[in-house]
Chains A and B, each alone.
Chain A
Amino acid sequence: MSLVASFYETEFERRRGVSQVTVRPGFAQIHVESEAESPSAFRLAVLAAVAEANIRISMLKLESRGLSFLVEADRVDAATDALKGFSPGVRSNCSLIEVHAVNMRDEEGLIARVIATAIASGATMNHVGDMHDRILIAVVSSDAQPLADQLFAALAQEDAS
Chain B
Amino acid sequence: MKFGGTSVQTAEARMQAALRVVSAFEQGFAPVVVVSAIGRKGAPYATDTLIEELRQIDSSIKIEPRELDMMLACGEIFSAVTFVQTLAALGHKARSFRGGQAGIRTDGVYGNARIESINPTGILNSIQRGEIPVICGFQGTFAIPGEPGGELTTLGRGGSDTTAAAVGAALGAKAVEIFTDVDGVKTADPDFVPNAPTLARVSYEEVAEIAHLGARVLHPRAAEIAMKYEIPLYVKNTFGEGPTTEIIDRGQVEGRRVTGVTHSGKLVYLEFDLRHATTSHCAELQAKVYNMMARYGVNLFMINLSPSVIGFAVMRSQYPTVKDLLDGLVAPIGEGKPSIYMLQLGDTPSREAETQAELLGPLGEVVRIPLALTESCTIVSLVGSDFLENPKVFFDMLRCLDEANIQVWQTSNSDLSVSCLVPESETHRAVARLHSQFGLESIAEAPKQETSAG
Q: How far is the CA of A115 from the CA of B302 in the complex (A)?
A: 13
Q: How far is the CA of A105 from the CA of B265 in the complex (A)?
A: 11
Stretch of B166-174, B185-193, B335-343 lying at the A interface: B166-174
Of A47, A53, A58, A113, most buried by chain B (CB within 10 Å of CB) is: A47
Query: Judging by beta carbons under 8 Å apart, are A5 and B297 in contact?
Result: no
* B298 contact from A7, A53, A109, Cβ within 8 A: A109
Q: How far is the CA of A6 from the CA of B6 in the complex (A)?
A: 33
* B402 contact from A44, A103, A116, Cβ within 8 A: A44
Say yes or no: A105-B301 contact (C-beta < 8 A), given A4-B172, A12-B118.
yes
Say yes or no: A131-B412 contact (C-beta < 8 A), given A3-B30, A4-B172, A12-B117.
yes
Within 8 Å of chain A (Cβ to Cβ): is B71? no
With a cutoff of 8 Å between Cβ atoms, the chain A residues found around residue B417 in the complex are 131
Within 8 Å of chain A (Cβ to Cβ): is B85? no
The smallest C-beta distance from B295 to any residue of chain A, in angstroms, reads: 7
Say yes or no: A112-B298 contact (C-beta < 8 A), given A12-B116, A129-B303, A133-B212.
yes
Q: How far is the CA of A51 from the CA of B414 in the complex (A)?
A: 18
With a cutoff of 8 Å between Cβ atoms, the chain A residues found around residue B119 in the complex are 8-9
Within 8 Å of chain B (Cβ to Cβ): is A153? no
Size class of the B contact interface (CB-based, 8 Å): 35 or more
* B296 contact from A48, A109, A116, A133, Cβ within 8 A: A109
Q: How far is the CA of A4 from the CA of B171 in the complex (A)?
A: 8
Stretch of B143-151, B194-202, B217-225 lying at the A interface: B217-225
Say yes or no: A61-B293 contact (C-beta < 8 A), given A3-B124, A13-B114.
no
CB closest residue in chain A, given B411:
A60
Residues of chain B touching chain A, judged by Cβ–Cβ distance below 8 Å, are 30, 107, 109, 112, 114-121, 124, 127-128, 156-157, 162, 166, 169-172, 209, 212-213, 220-221, 224-225, 228, 283, 286-287, 290-291, 293-306, 309, 388-392, 394-395, 398-399, 402, 408-414, 417
Residues of chain A touching chain B, judged by Cβ–Cβ distance below 8 Å, are 1, 3-16, 40-41, 43-44, 47-48, 50-51, 53-64, 68, 102-103, 105-113, 115-116, 119-120, 122, 125-135
